[in-house]
Amino acid sequence: MLVVEIDQAVREVREHCASLSHPPRVVTSGNFATPLTVLGPVLAELPEARLHALNAQRDLPVHDGIVPETTFVGPGFRRHPRLAYVPCRLSMVPRLFHGPLAPDVVVVHTTVPHSGRVSLGLEVNVLPAAIEAARERGAVVVAQLNPRMPWTFGDAEISIEDVDLGVEVDVALTTHVARAPNDDARLIGSRVAAEIGDGATLQAGIGEVPDATIAGVLDRRGLRVWTEMFSDGVLTLEKAGALDRGTPVRTSFVFGSQELYDWVDDNPRVRMLRTETTNSPAAIAQQPAMTSINTALQVDLFDQANASRIGARIYSGFGGQTDFTVGASHSPGGRAFMALRSWHPRADVSTIVPMVDEPVTSFQHGAVVTEQGVAWMWGRSEREQARNLIEHAAHPSVRDDLWEEARELGLA
């Protein structure tokens, strides 16, 4: 790795891209670890490019020549007129970089070097695969070297030989402050928590329902974490003594408070793993009593969930929902929960519908949980599934209509 000033890094990336016969594809860290200090000037010098980032946030510098590209749409790309959404399970995204989405430039956010290595810190995700694909094809890898980035272990650690250019910066990391769960979320979380016993393995994501679920299991013991991401809820479990001290907390990316970042820094109990490992259904299935908690925009009477689209418009994407639903369902003692409010507060409609009109994201969940109750799905006939959804998950104001639709669908 050659440490250079930002102007030189921009110049070398521009010259490399000028030699290509196609608009370059720039792959960068997503979520809250995007290396904006370096990425902004790099993109500004490229008249055309495809920018690939997972769960892009709103502050990405996307000019008119940039095509936002992603397999999971974040708020920064959502509703963008030039969005190129590539449907793909998150576990399989790394394969894309060795095939149809080969990178020409990779820009990552890392620690400063130590003993010939840097750490990807808070965001590992699909980046190791992108770096490997870049090395194979002679693409350029640029690292934003930040002393404030926590040093994390596992697949986060990469050799400085895999980085072409390093640019030293000193910028604050983006933090995320979770809002307190509302009454519905607390009730849903408590219902899920009641089904989690000692020694279970959690997919601990972010949001009101996961936070409320974690609040309900603080008195459990021997809990494990195998997840694609976590936030401050895992630190809450640690403080409560709920986690199994003999098992690493395993994840692929992290975002949350500065206190959380301080906890993961140089912490050998936190193991950052590549997405193709954390999201492998086979690896997930090996975790004892794997409990996945996902959400959706709609669930229908056939237990099909739409978590990706609103009408014809892509809202997010598959993400890890399909990976963890399948993996948890195959785990010894594991279960896949679909947790959502029975009534969508913004759209003012029922989230339990006769049949989803949009493409299905996942299906065959262990149970669907709303503030109304728990509708058990696994092992029930389709008629029993429909009855459980109507009687235990749907909002009371739509139950009569759902029964009528169920009869027309042959489910009653």
Token readout for 188 is: 């849903």
In contact, 73 and 180? CB cutoff 8 Å: no
Q: Which two tokens stand for residue 399?
A: 């139950």
What residues contact residue 334 under an 8 Å CB cut-off, 6+ apart? Answer: 201, 285, 287, 288, 289, 290, 291, 292, 327, 328
| R_g of the chain computed on alpha carbons | 22
In 220-298, alpha helices (H): 232-239, 258-264, 275-278, 281-285
Strand pairing report for 367-370 and 373-376? antiparallel
CA 141 to each of CA 25, 37, 99, 121: distance values in angstroms, whole numbers, following the listed order: 12, 15, 18, 16
Structure tokens, 309:
């689209």
- N- to C-terminal Cα separation, the chain: 66
Least Cα distance to 26 among 56, 59, 58 occurs for 56
Tokens coding 227: 């997840």
Active-site residue (options: 228, 358, 371, 405): 228
- Other CB atoms within a 10 A radius of the CB of residue 99 amount to 8
User: C-alpha dihedral over 304, 310, 313, 314, to 10 degrees?
Assistant: -60
What b/e sequence results for 254-269 when a residue is b if at least 16 CB atoms lie within 10 Å of its CB, and e otherwise?
bbbeeebbebbbebee
| Cα→Cα distances 365→8, 186, 249, 328, 376, Å | 52, 21, 25, 9, 8
Q: CA angle, 256 as apex, 189 and 222 as ends, to 5°?
A: 55
Composition of the chain by helix, strand, coil, percent to 5: 30, 25, 45
Verify whether residue 405 is a known catalytic residue.
Answer: no
Q: Are 249 and 243 within 8 A, CB to CB?
A: yes
Give catalytic residues, as residue numbers.
228
